[in-house]
Amino acid sequence: MNMKDVLKGKLSEEELSKVPRAFDIVGDIAIIEIPFELKHRKMDIAEALLKVNKHVKTVCDKYGERSGDYRLNEIEILIGESTVTEHKENNCRFRVDLSKAYFSARESTERLRIGRMIKPGENVLVMFSGVCPSPITYARMQKKIGSAYGVELNPDAHTYAEENVRLNKVEGKVIPICGNVREACPKLGKKFDRITMPLPKGAYEFLDTVFEVAARGCVVHFYYYDRQDALYGKALEYVKNAAKKAKRKIKILDKRKVLPYGPRIWKVCVEFRVLD
Ligand SMILES: C[S@@+](CC[C@H](N)C(=O)[O-])C[C@H]1O[C@@H](n2cnc3c(N)ncnc32)[C@H](O)[C@@H]1O
């Protein structure tokens, strides 16, 4: 039985056709975006969702796109008590308050993909690290990692990152730092072998900082929202221009679609090595 089966008889055929098929689950919280014209049916929809997803305890309605520097969704609890949960993936546990900090379960495959590339001894920097799912995943996958720094602006996300480091027993390997990437990264006084930039909306503005802290041979994973009809064009342009400005030589290693973002928009990843 699915949500629509439960709602049959309660909602008209027209209303049923507008019930979203997709929703996100983080820990025991389900987040659904109920269309404006179905808001008066939101409790029926939340109850139906709960009925067919036995492990869900809280159902939230999401309003619009993520916004602001902290990339947060505006959410309303429809059923349940709290927006704090613990999410399990890839042999890791992440605690997060979804009303205060960014977390997306959809990115777990990408965390694994990068985690598999990390070699013993590598010093990794995750810019825009949120509650630290990426650095923690890397450190648990590659036991001989040198270090995994995570730099995050949102103090609430940082507090959860510190808790998640303890929960996953990666103290000393994963080092969460609270601050703006632009100032905080150079202040670390370190050069990195791998840098990931998981802020597709604005990472391009921080490519100059990447070149400041990239060791020779560093591999950079740069994310961007690109148009389907000109895929990778803008992303590659940003990367090449920033390298030229920093007077560093690079080699493009890979470019790939990561996830669909909107109609004809993809989250893409461009990977390059800093050669000198
Ligand atoms: C798209 S989220 C990704 C979070 C995390 N990497 C993850 O996958 O869960 C981007 C994060 O970057 C943070 N952020 C935005 N601008 C920043 C900046 N200038 N310096 C550090 N963090 C920043 C936001 O607060 C947000 O948590």
Which residues does the chain have with pLDDT short of 70?
none
Exposure class string for 238-270: b at 16+ Cβ within 10 A, else e: bbeebbeebebebeeeebeebeebeeeebbbbb
pLDDT (0 to 100) of residue 262: 87
The CATH number assigned to the domain holding 69 equals: 3.30.300.110
Separation of CA 166 and ligand 1 centre (Å): 20
Is residue 222 a contact partner of residue 203, using CB atoms and an 8 Å limit?
yes
Same domain, 215 and 261: yes
Please report whether residue 263 resides in a domain.
Answer: yes
pLDDT (0 to 100) of residue 65: 87
Same domain, 195 and 239: yes
Same domain, 153 and 266: yes
pLDDT (0 to 100) of residue 20: 93
Per the listing, tokens 């450190």 go with 139
Domain boundary among 51, 82, 113: 82
Pocket of ligand 1 (CB under 6 A): 69-71, 102-104, 107, 128-130, 133-134, 151-154, 157, 180-181, 198-199
- What is the per-residue pLDDT across 46-70, written as a single tens digit (0 to 9) for each? 999 999 999 999 999 999 889 999 9
Domain coverage including residue 152 = 104-274
Please report whether residue 92 resides in a domain.
Answer: no
Same domain, 129 and 186: yes
User: Which pair of structure tokens corresponds to residue 230?
Assistant: 């000109």
Separation of CA 37 and ligand 1 centre (Å): 32
